[in-house]
Amino acid sequence: MDRAEVITISRLGKWRLYWPGPLPQGAAAIGTVNRGNGEEGALILMPTGVYVQGNAGALRSLPQREIRAALDLPARGGNVSAYLPADVYHGLTTSAASAGLSINAALTLAVRAWISAAGK
């Protein structure tokens, strides 16, 4: 594999260095991403479930399969089961509706935030 093809992700990376403004609506910052050729930026999860690289307000596509592998996530479309207490589910659906997100997008963002917090 060419060095330029190596994707490195740091969940503890200082993504604000690359994305100083507000995130796009419904998006979540995961950390930083380095493409291996010196290109680095904020790793952002969009509400659609797509990961992008953010630099000073510009979004750039990323190879989704490599990003998911670097994050140690199942392939897109992989099923994950979880039990949510009724109050948590209600809060999540209420938040999703007010943010204009689907329940799946809101759940994805909530799980990503939880995973990110657990890694600290």
Q: Where exactly are the structural domains of the chain?
A: 3-118
How many other C-beta atoms are found inside a 10 Å radius of the C-beta of residue 89?
A: 13
The whole-angstrom separation of Cα 4 and Cα 87 is 46
CA 58 to chain centre: 16
For residue 10, list its beta bridge partners: 32
pLDDT of the chain along its 120 residues, tens only? 444 467 888 888 899 999 999 999 889 998 999 987 889 999 999 988 899 999 999 999 999 888 888 887 655 554 445 556 666 666 766 766 666 666 667 777 777 776 666 554
Q: What type of residue is 6? A: V
Reported pTM = 0.60
